[in-house]
Structure formats: structure tokens, C-alpha cells
Amino acid sequence: MGRRAAQHHGIRGSALLATQPLSPAAVSAELLEPGEMRRVPFAGELLGAARVRSGFVAVPIDAFDEAAPRLSAEVQAAYLHLIRLSFGEGRNWCRVKKRELGKRLRASERRLLRLLDGLVERGLARPLHRDNRGTLWRVYLPREAVGAPVGDGVLFGRAAGPARPRSSPARPPWPPPKAGPVANGPLARSLAEARGQLDPAGLERAEREIAELVAEGQPMHRIAAGIGALRRLGPPAEGSTP
């Protein structure tokens, strides 16, 4: 086992679940018809219908399905909170203090500024005004960010006057998932070597992870230090997940 295995953190209860043969009828809750207001027993729980009747917000599915897969986990969280405070309140803007957002995200002010700048950079948010009540944000849906029609699923209020042209984001709204080999290639190779995974799949995984760290604002020296610590631990034990 060793130190590498000791660092592995699984999901509580997941190890007890064996992959079952494919059987659509195995979980009776999955056979309920849409809208059928029933709950049926499974594994000591009652699974089935649940309808939220109050205290909910309308969040466009695109915010999850189109934007979230292209953002780091922390930037996703910042975006979804802005969506909650804007479109969730029936408007395309919100005013919020940095302190409140930082509390929601459990992020320091420095970290919060990086997350918000990431949204501005991708065209998903734009600061318009600031006073003692906080910053006024125009929040953009994913399709708005790329200049596409939002479709009939979202209704906007009638325009009372011309809108000022928005400034172009500093880079395309949806950056490529991997960074260029010149910038991150050496670090990615070092990470793959520390893991003992110099095959194409291992290198691709390392490049993707380094790119994500860079996109989150992690400095190069800190990433390199983390790779050095991993290297000192030695290659992972056979069968463990590095």
C-alpha cells in the first residue's frame, strides 16, 4: 500500500457497491413515469417524485450544460451564484458585495477577484457600477456570451432604449480545454514522469490538469513545487490511483 495508497480518498459507501448486470427493471424508481407522484422503496430509501413548490429559482439549463463543462469548478460556482442572484430573481443583472460572494464561495478576496475576472474574460459577466451596496453585474447566459440567440426558453423585458455596445472579452468565451505545449509542456511531462505515466494517455491527462491549474490562476512555481513533492513520494503503488 504505502504512502501513495494512504493518500487515496474514496467516496464513503461507494466501495460497498458492486457494478450490477445491466437490468433496467432493477431500480423500480427508474420505471416511474414522468409526473407520477409516487416514491418506491430501494436500498432502505424511498425514491421517486419530488416537486419544489416554493422557495425555488428558475435557472436556465444552459448554465449547467453549456457553460459549466468549460469552466473550472470554482469559476463554475461563482457563475452559478451570479445566475442565482440575477436570472433566479427574474432579471439579467444583480448587485452584490464582494464580501457576500466571498462568503458564498468560501473564497478569499484575492481568490474571488480571480474567479470573477475569469467570468469577465469569458464574456459571462461584466461589472457596470459600484457603490456602498456592492457591484452591479450584468450576467450573460452562455449563448449570449458567444453572440447566439438565447432561444424561446428565456424572455427578456421590452427594451426602453438602445444598449451600449459591450466591450469584447479579452479572449474567446470558450478557451480550448488544453493549454499549448510550449507554455505547459515541460510541467505536464514532469507530472507524467512523477506518476510513471509517460504513455500518450498519461501525458494528455497531465497536460489537461496543468492547463486547469493555470486557468485557475495557480502560479507556475507553486505547480512545480507540487510536482516535486509528488516526485519525492515515488511512483504510485500498483493498482492505486495517483
- Which residue range is the domain that position 96 belongs to? 62-145
Residues 14-42 have pLDDT tens digits of 777 788 888 888 888 988 888 899 999 98
Q: Is residue 27 part of a domain?
A: no
CA 54 to chain centre: 27
Which segments in the chain show pLDDT lower than 50?
1, 170, 176-183, 239-241
- What pLDDT sits at residue 183? 47
Q: Are residues 141 and 66 in the same domain?
A: yes
In the chain, how many domains are there?
2
Q: Are residues 141 and 86 in the same domain?
A: yes
The CATH number that applies at residue 118 is 1.10.10.10
- What pLDDT sits at residue 227? 84
Q: Is residue 40 part of a domain?
A: no
Q: Is residue 105 part of a domain?
A: yes
Q: Is residue 140 part of a domain?
A: yes
CB-based contact 104:79 (threshold 8 Å):
no
CA 99, CA 23: separation in Å to the nearest integer?
Answer: 49
- What pLDDT sits at residue 20? 82
Closest CA to 29 of 5, 46, 53, 51: 46
Q: Is residue 88 part of a domain?
A: yes
Q: Is residue 3 part of a domain?
A: no
Residues 102-130 have pLDDT tens digits of 999 999 999 999 999 999 999 999 999 99
- What pLDDT sits at residue 68? 82
Q: Is residue 73 part of a domain?
A: yes
Q: Is residue 20 part of a domain?
A: no
C-alpha cell of 225?
Answer: 513545487
